[in-house]
Amino acid sequence: MTVTVGVNARYCVIGNPVAHSKSPTIHAAFALQTGQGIVYERCLAPVDGFAAIVRQLVASGYSGANVTVPFKLEAAALATTLSERARAAGAVNTLSFTPSGIAGDNTDGAGLVGDILHNAGVAIAGRRVLLVGAGGAARGAILPLLQQGPRQLVIANRTAATAENLAASFNSHGVPVEACTFADLDGRFDIVVNATSASLAGDLPPLPPAVFGAGTLALDMMYAADPTPFMRFAAAHGASMRDGLGMLVEQAAEAFFVWRGVRPQTCALLAAMRPPA
């Protein structure tokens, strides 16, 4: 599928698989809203052919590309320059092809923060935040969360050493970053973000119910037509639940801003993309 809005610049999303990606629809809506002329496509890359695909795109005159699984780490290695948040994440989801090289950025964490602040209407500053998981999705979220000034950020993971190593790499930002196993979690959190892939398999991270309560926002980075097991579990213990669709739209808006210098509005698009209740 190719979405064409004017003919000024060409972009795509690179992944494997990629047919399911909502990015063409999202960026087409942003382009119409802002009057930007772009062509935006899906690009299926062989699992061992990411770099070759990027070189082809550059040679063909593309202006940039979004990157999705499983290529975000390769994109970071391929980029000639990295933004601060891309360096912190160790992964790239937004490439800009410039005369001086390939610039890599990561807008995932900014998308998460934007969804929490603007769409959910929940403040992060001064709050106790739990990040569930210590993989790439969690790493990409940490710096943008810390920049909002939470009172505490706790990273919980099945393997303590993995969480501890991740926490230690972010201990110079003025906010306490702690790590523990799921069994060692203590007390209620204001915001709980599931950054694991458990929901893709219909599974639930082994969280103690006490981390949730009235006033807790429980956000799953995954999105689907129905609430995930994490969302249902959180709601059963008093939390308000939210899926990752808002994060998806917000990270796309941030990427659009990186490329075009214009920040689109997201509320109407997000409302249109949500399935009827």
Listing DSSP states for the chain in one string gives -EEEE-SSEEEEEEESS-TT--HHHHHHHHHHHHT--EEEEEEE--TT-HHHHHHHHHHTT--EEEE-TT-HHHHHHH-SEE-HHHHHHT--SEEEEETTEEEEE--HHHHHHHIIIIIS----TT-EEEEE--SHHHHHHHHHHHTT--SEEEEE-SSHHHHHHHHHTTTTSSS-EEEE-GGG--S--SEEEE-SSGGGGT------GGG--TT-EEEES---SS--HHHHHHHHTT-EEE-SHHHHHHHHHHHHHHHHS-----HHHHHHHSPP-
84 is in an annotated binding site: yes
Question: 10, 27, 72, 188: which one is catalytic?
Answer: 72
Q: Is 218 annotated as a binding residue?
A: no
Q: Which of 59, 41, 46, 56 has its CA nearest to residue 2?
A: 41
Is position 221 annotated in a ligand binding site? yes
Question: Annotation-wise, does 83 bind a ligand?
Answer: no
Residue 6 assigned ligand-binding role: no
Give how far the C-alpha of residue 177 lies from the chain's centroid of Cα atoms, to the nearest Å.
Answer: 20
**Ligand-binding site membership of 68 (annotated):** yes
Query: Is 244 assigned to a binding site?
Result: yes
Q: Residues 67, 71, 76, 80: is their CA dihedral positive or negative?
A: negative
Give the total residue count for the chain: 277
203 annotated as belonging to a binding site for a ligand: no
Annotated active-site residue 72? The verdict is yes
Task: State yes or no: 234 annotated in a binding site.
Answer: no
| Residue 183 assigned to a binding site | no
104 a known binding residue? no
The answer to whether 89 and 75 are in contact (CB under 8 A) is: no
23 annotated binding-site participant? yes
Binding-site sequence positions for NADP(+): 84, 133-137, 221, 244
Q: Enumerate the active-site residues.
A: 72
Q: Which residues are annotated as a binding site for shikimate?
A: 21-23, 68, 93, 108, 223, 251
Q: Residue positions in the annotated binding site?
A: 21-23, 68, 84, 93, 108, 133-137, 221, 223, 244, 251
